[in-house]
Chains A and B, each alone.
Chain A
Amino acid sequence: ETGVTQSPTHLIKTRGQQVTLRCSSQSGHNTVSWYQQALGQGPQFIFQYYREEENGRGNFPPRFSGLQFPNYSSELNVNALELDDSALYLCASSLSIAAALTDTQYFGPGTRLTVL
């Protein structure tokens, strides 16, 4: 039990729609990172938020955006969904930016998104 929760567990959308995924971090964790895990692949870094501002982004287009709130919750928004966006989306929380690169980052169970 990592104390990181995500909702919903599963979601089905159609191509072109927009989706919002939610994450609740451990209390006190001001850094949240989002990862996309496609089938048969390892998690791939989407972006990180620190104190409610984006602090780094992987190789993902601007239609992937996020928000982080003062109550340690955060959102991942994806616009204009494509079939290739079907994946498991993981959020991970940590006490600091540096901690997000170490063993003190904790992953949630993920949201499985299917785009038809």
Chain B
Amino acid sequence: DQQVKQNSPSLSVQEGRISILNCDYTNSMFDYFLWYKKYPAEGPTFLISISSIKDKNEDGRFTVFLNKSAKHLSLHIVPSQPGDSAVYFCAASPPYSGGGADGLTFGKGTHLIIQP
């Protein structure tokens, strides 16, 4: 049972255009969401996050939108650049309750390809 879903395995976007990556979740206990970027032979690197008390967070070219009622978030990259070509993972976590850790729950990832 996948609690975090990224339904697009790959996405191809022209350089300079907007890239939109989508993520859906089913667990209403999740209250913090993160996007990671991963290049081959490297570990995931943190890109941007959003708390459930917000509906938008922006950092330079990257913006994450959260729609709690739809249990949906999206990552917008504008303008897209060749260096953005990578696999993007959406991850979610519940609030820390003080008990045993549950870790982050990740989606399967979306491979973003920026075409020149």
A contact set with B: CB distance below 8 Å: 2, 4, 33, 35, 40-45, 48, 50, 55-58, 90, 92, 97-98, 100-103, 105-110
Contact A109 B43 (CB under 8 A): yes
Tell yes or no: B41 within 8 A of A by CB. Answer: yes
Given A90-B44, A103-B49, A108-B43, CB of A40 within 8 Å of CB of B101: no
Given A42-B109, A102-B93, A103-B34, CB of A97 within 8 Å of CB of B43: no
Pairs A–B under 8 Å by Cβ, sample size 23? A33-B101, A33-B103, A41-B108, A42-B4, A42-B106, A42-B107, A43-B44, A43-B89, A44-B106, A45-B103, A45-B104, A58-B103, A97-B96, A100-B101, A100-B103, A100-B104, A101-B94, A102-B49, A103-B49, A106-B46, A107-B43, A107-B45, A108-B43
Contact B101 A56 (CB under 8 A): yes
| Contact residues, B1-34 vs A (CB, 8 A) | 4, 6, 32, 34
Contact B108 A40 (CB under 8 A): yes
**SS of B interface (majority):** loop
Docked Cα-Cα span, A78 to B9, in Å, equals: 30
Tell yes or no: B100 within 8 A of A by CB. Answer: yes
Contact A45 B102 (CB under 8 A): yes
Docked Cα-Cα span, A15 to B47, in Å, equals: 37
Contact B106 A43 (CB under 8 A): yes
Docked Cα-Cα span, A44 to B105, in Å, equals: 7
Name the residue among B36, B41, B91, B103 with the largest chain A CB count within 10 angstroms. Answer: B103
Docked Cα-Cα span, A43 to B44, in Å, equals: 9
Complex interface: chain A residues within 8 A of B45 (CB):
2, 107
Chain B nearest CB from A51 CB (Å) reads 13
Complex interface: chain B residues within 8 A of A108 (CB):
43
Contact B32 A102 (CB under 8 A): yes
Contact B49 A56 (CB under 8 A): no
Docked Cα-Cα span, A92 to B38, in Å, equals: 14
Ranked nearest first, the 7 interchain pairs of A and B with the lowest CB-CB distance are A45-B103, A56-B101, A42-B106, A107-B43, A56-B100, A101-B93, A48-B101
